[in-house]
């Protein structure tokens, strides 16, 4: 008999676990992890595509303003710095033109500084930049000052004379007023080393002057000098004489033998206006604009996937018909170079 008032004893056992439940938990965990990972990848891909699309447009048509000197509080007037750097080619010319257009559309811009660090480059591209700066000055009425630093020679100097005033750092190398024409002669390589004999069929005697397939005759060299070098040299001299009012054509020609000049020497010869640093260039713009102060901004390319990929693509050596044509085409240049 069990004691009175007490419930009968019941044996309590743990519920039996379902077989296979641990495997399902692992499976669902993997599915969840893969789902989260797929969403992260999809979001990243979507972000990349949108950034690529937006930067592809803005990278070409828009330049970001970066403040490099703050003006007084609530001062809306701007001085814009446009950088002209490296060897001047068609891409540099288009870049400068686009920045000038952006400055033209901004009514807050009261002055421009063209910051030049370039040994020059292609004749046509240098002349295009000169023309764009000259046109901006006369159509907008906004003062433009060139600020030279490093090297501002040949085509770099050509572009600078489009500005109202020129300021150069004390260590600047400038000058090199003149023209140079370069091309390769591959006759010995092709015929002597590779056994390749070129065949040229032409409509006239001078059609292939100069030719990369043979050494030039004295007649060819004289023809190229008279036709190209003399003409573009004279244009360079005339542009400098027209822009630098203190110099006559004869005085410019006396300086235009290809010589390079220090900033101090260039100032004494009236090729530039002032030796100084960036602050002097800013002060010169303020004076010409009739302003006491303004913030100074610099135009820069915003980050662009398109530009990044293009840079990588440009670094890949590509030998195609256009590359070969470019290498074999004589280049006439306003360029200070060491051979």
Residues designated catalytic: 154, 207
Residue 131: strand, helix, or coil: helix
Residues 6+ apart with CB under 8 A from 137: 143, 144, 162, 163, 164
Place of tokens 């001062």: 75
Residues 6+ apart with CB under 8 A from 264: 170, 275
- Give the integer Cα–Cα distance in Å for 261 and 248: 19
CA angle, corner 114, sides to 232 and 332, nearest 5?
Answer: 20
Positive or negative torsion for Cα 274, 275, 277, 278:
positive
Asked if 97 and 67 touch (Cβ cutoff 8 Å), the reply is no
Token duo for residue 247 = 């110099």
**Residue closest to 123 by CA, chosen among 90, 146, 145:** 90
| CB burial string 228-244: b at 16+ within 10 A, e below | ebeebbeebbebbbebb
Residue 281: strand, helix, or coil: helix
- Give the integer Cα–Cα distance in Å for 183 and 315: 23
Length of the chain: 339
* 120-122 β-sheet, strand order: 120-122, 331-335, 180-182
């Amino acid at each position: 008999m069990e004691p009175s008032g007490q419930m009968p004893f019941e044996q309590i056992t743990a519920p039996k676990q379902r077989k296979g439940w641990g495997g399902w938990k692992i499976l669902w965990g993997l599915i969840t992890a893969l789902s989260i990972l797929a969403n992260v990848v999809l979001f990243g891909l979507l972000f990349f595509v949108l950034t690529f699309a937006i930067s592809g447009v803005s990278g070409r048509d828009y330049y970001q303003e970066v403040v490099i000197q703050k003006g007084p509080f609530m001062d809306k007037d701007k001085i814009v710095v446009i950088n002209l750097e490296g060897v001047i080619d068609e891409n540099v010319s288009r870049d400068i033109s686009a920045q000038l257009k952006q400055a033209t559309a901004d009514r807050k811009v009261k002055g421009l500084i063209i910051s030049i660090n370039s040994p020059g480059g292609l004749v046509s591209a240098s002349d295009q930049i000169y023309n764009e700066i000259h046109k901006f000055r006369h159509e907008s009425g906004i003062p433009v000052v060139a600020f030279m630093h490093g090297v501002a020679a040949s085509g770099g100097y050509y572009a600078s004379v489009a500005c109202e005033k020129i300021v150069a750092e004390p260590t600047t190398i400038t000058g090199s007023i003149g023209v140079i024409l370069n091309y390769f002669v591959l006759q010995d390589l092709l015929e002597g080393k590779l056994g390749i004999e070129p065949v040229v069929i032409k409509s006239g005697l001078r059609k292939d002057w100069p030719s990369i397939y043979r050494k030039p005759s004295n007649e060819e060299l004289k023809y190229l000098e008279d036709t190209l070098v003399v003409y573009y040299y004279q244009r360079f001299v005339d542009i400098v004489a027209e822009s630098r009012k203190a110099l006559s054509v004869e005085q410019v020609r006396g300086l235009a033998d290809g010589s390079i000049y220090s900033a101090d020497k260039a100032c004494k010869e009236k090729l530039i206006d002032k030796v100084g640093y960036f602050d002097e260039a800013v002060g010169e713009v303020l004076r010409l604009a009739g302003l006491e102060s303004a913030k100074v901004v610099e135009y820069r390319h915003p980050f662009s996937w398109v530009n990044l990929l293009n840079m990588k693509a440009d670094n890949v050596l590509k030998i195609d018909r256009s590359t070969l044509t470019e290498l074999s085409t004589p280049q006439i240049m306003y360029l200070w170079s060491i051979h």
